[in-house]
């Protein structure tokens, strides 16, 4: 005949210590990997950007006063992507003659930054092929204006599949 097992205080203690030990070990591993994989910095120039924040606000107000509108699309074309940007003024008329450039960045780090110029295809429409080295989320910073000044700046985010 088999004897029923008895739960003693020692069994309960070892069970609780084992349970919480596993929880603490797993949480410690999560904290270690989270801190090890993210440097905590989103910019290398935090002080300068904070100091120049009023200039940023003034620039944003000047851009809003222009009344320009833009649309940006990134589409797969053969083995590459094409970045297409369309600019119009406050009345909806196309804005031609702009110098447009785009800077592609990945949110996880600056090592894959890519800068391209977008030539004007038709009045107000700017198009360029781009070869992105990795799939994933890309931030695209679009700047438009003359050769001396940047009058318009906009940030877009795209999810790219290879």
**What structural domains does the chain harbor?**
68-160 (2.60.40.1930)
Side-chain-facing half-sphere of 85: CA atoms under 13 Å? 30
Q: What is the pLDDT of residue 88?
A: 92
More confident residue, 15 or 109: 15
Give tens-digit pLDDT for 68-125.
888 999 888 787 889 999 999 989 899 988 999 999 998 776 677 889 999 999 999 9
Asked if 73 and 84 count as a contact pair (C-beta separation under 8 A), the reply is yes
Give me 117's structure tokens.
């110029």
Q: What is the pLDDT of residue 32?
A: 92
Give the residue-averaged pLDDT of 154-160: 86
Average pLDDT, the chain: 87
Give tens-digit pLDDT for 117-136.
999 999 999 999 998 888 88
Q: What is the pLDDT of residue 121?
A: 93
Which of 153, 152, 144 lies closest to 97 in space, CA to CA?
144
Q: What is the pLDDT of residue 35?
A: 82
Q: What is the pLDDT of residue 56?
A: 83
């Amino acid at each position: 005949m088999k004897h029923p097992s008895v739960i003693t205080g020692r069994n309960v203690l070892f069970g609780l210590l084992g349970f919480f030990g596993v929880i603490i070990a797993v949480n410690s591993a999560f904290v270690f990997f989270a801190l090890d994989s993210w440097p905590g910095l989103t910019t290398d120039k935090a002080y300068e950007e904070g100091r120049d924040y009023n200039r940023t606000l003034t620039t944003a107000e000047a851009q809003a006063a222009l009344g320009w509108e833009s649309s940006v699309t990134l589409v797969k074309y053969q083995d590459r992507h094409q970045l297409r940007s369309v600019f119009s003024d406050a009345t909806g008329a196309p804005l031609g003659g702009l110098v447009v450039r785009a800077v592609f960045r990945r949110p996880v780090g600056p090592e894959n930054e890519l800068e391209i110029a977008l030539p004007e295809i038709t009045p107000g429409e700017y198009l360029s092929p781009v070869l992105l080295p990795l799939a994933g989320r890309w931030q695209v910073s679009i700047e438009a204006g003359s050769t001396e000044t940047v009058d318009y700046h906009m940030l877009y985010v795209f999810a790219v599949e290879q």
